[in-house]
Structure 1
Amino acid sequence: MRINVLQHTPSEGPGSIADWAAERGHDLYIYHPYQFNGILPTADETDLLVVLGGPISPNDDLDWIKAERELIAQLLKAHKPIFGACYGAQQIAKTLGYQVGKAPHKEVGWAPVYRQSDVIPNLPEQLTALHWHEEMFEVPKQAQLLFTSDLVHNQGFLLGNNVIGLQFHLEPKLLNVRTMTINDGAYALTNNALHQTPEEIRNLPVPKENREMIYQMFDYITKA
C-alpha cells in the first residue's frame, strides 16, 4: 500500500502513523505542498491519504489548499481510506460542503476527549489528546460524531467505514511534541482556554494508548 502524507508545517509530522506504516509493511511518502509549489500526489497513486495539521485554514484562498480538496474529493468518490488530523479533518469536512469556522474556545495543550461511537472496536471511553487549534469543522450529516471534548463539541467524525477526521492529535510522539512546542510554542500563550504553557505541554508524558489508538483507527479504515 502506498500511503501519501500531506504535511503542512515542519513542526507537525506523521509521528506514530509512520510507525504503523512501517510495521504493516506499507510505503510512506511525505508531501510538503506549502513549501514545494503545491506538489501533491495523484489519486491513482494513493492507496491511503493522510492530511496532517498546520497553521493554515481550509478557508485560506490558496491554490494548493483548493487542489488538496480536489484530491480528497477524488479519493472519497473512489472509496479510498483517508485520515485527517486537525486542519486535515477540516479539509475533509469542507470538501464535503460543510463549514469550518472559529471554535468556541482555542485549545492548545493536553486535554481529554470522549468517545461518542462504538463502531470502531476497542476505543476507550476517554483519551488524553494533544490539541492545537482554534477552528472547528461542522460534522458532515452523513458522518458519525466520534469524539467530543469539554470545550469543543465537534472533535472527531467517522464517514462510512474508511474516513476518519480528528480535530485533535493522537499521532505525536515525544519528539513531535518537543518540535511543536519549541517552534510554535507562542501559539499556546494567547487566548488559550487550556491555560498550558509550552513547557507544561512538553513536560507532560505522551499517553502510550494514543499510539495504540492510531494503530486501531488505521487498521479499521484500511480493512474496510
Structure 2
Amino acid sequence: MQRPEAWPRPHPGEGAAAAQAGGPAPSARAGEPSGLRLQEPSLYTIKAVFILDNDGRRLLAKYYDDTFPSMKEQMVFEKNVFNKTSRTESEIAFFGGMTIVYKNSIDLFLYVVGSSYENELMLMSVLTCLFESLNHMLRKNVEKRWLLENMDGAFLVLDEIVDGGVILESDPQQVIQKVNFRADDGGLTEQSVAQQNGHQGTSETQNPGARAQPDGTHRNTGPWALARNRT
C-alpha cells in the first residue's frame, strides 16, 4: 500500500539527548520566540511502539523515525521511560519532549510514543487497539508468556495498526479480521514474516528467544494458528 504524502519527518536524533537524560524538550531554534513555535501538520503521528516486561526489558519494539537512530539510544530511552512510568497509576507521561501513553497488563507494559503536540486521545486509541487486538489474538490475558509464543502474530497486529508512523486502523475487530485473512490466505509464512520484519524506515526487535532461520531472519516457535484457535 502506498503511503500518503505528508510533511517531512523530524531531523535525526532530535530530542534523543533530552529523553535519554530525562530532561526537558529541546529549546526553540535561534530566532524563534519561546513558546510560539508552530508545528507543521503531519500524518506521521507515531514515533514508536514498544512492549517491555515488568523488569523493563524489551520484548517487542518498532521505531518509525530517526529520533533515536541507534539501538543503544532506543534501549536507554525505553529504560528511562520504564523507570518513570512503572510505579505510577497514570496512563499518560510527558518525557523528553514526547507524549507517551502506556498500559500495564499483568507482567507487561505497553507504550505508544508521539510528539509533545500529539493528541493524547489519538495515541490512546492506538494503544487500546493494540491491547484489545492482542487480547483477542491470544485468547488469554495479555502476558509475557503468551506474547513470546506468538511474536509473529503480534508484529502482524502492530503492522495493521501503524505503518511507518501513520495510523492505519484503530478498530481491533478490523485489525483481527485483516490479520486472520492474511493467515487464512497463507500469508503467515517465513517469507511474509521476513518482509514484515524488514520494513524500511523502521527499527524493530523481536524477543531474544526467537529462533534463527537459515536465511538470517528470526521466527518465534509459537504457532500462530494455535493462538487463533485457542479457547
Fold-level match, TM-score > 0.5? no
1 or 2, which has the higher helix percentage? 2
TM-score of the aligned structures, taking structure 1 as reference length: 0.30
TM-score of the aligned structures, taking structure 2 as reference length: 0.30
Higher gyration radius (CA): 2
1 or 2, which has the higher strand percentage? 1
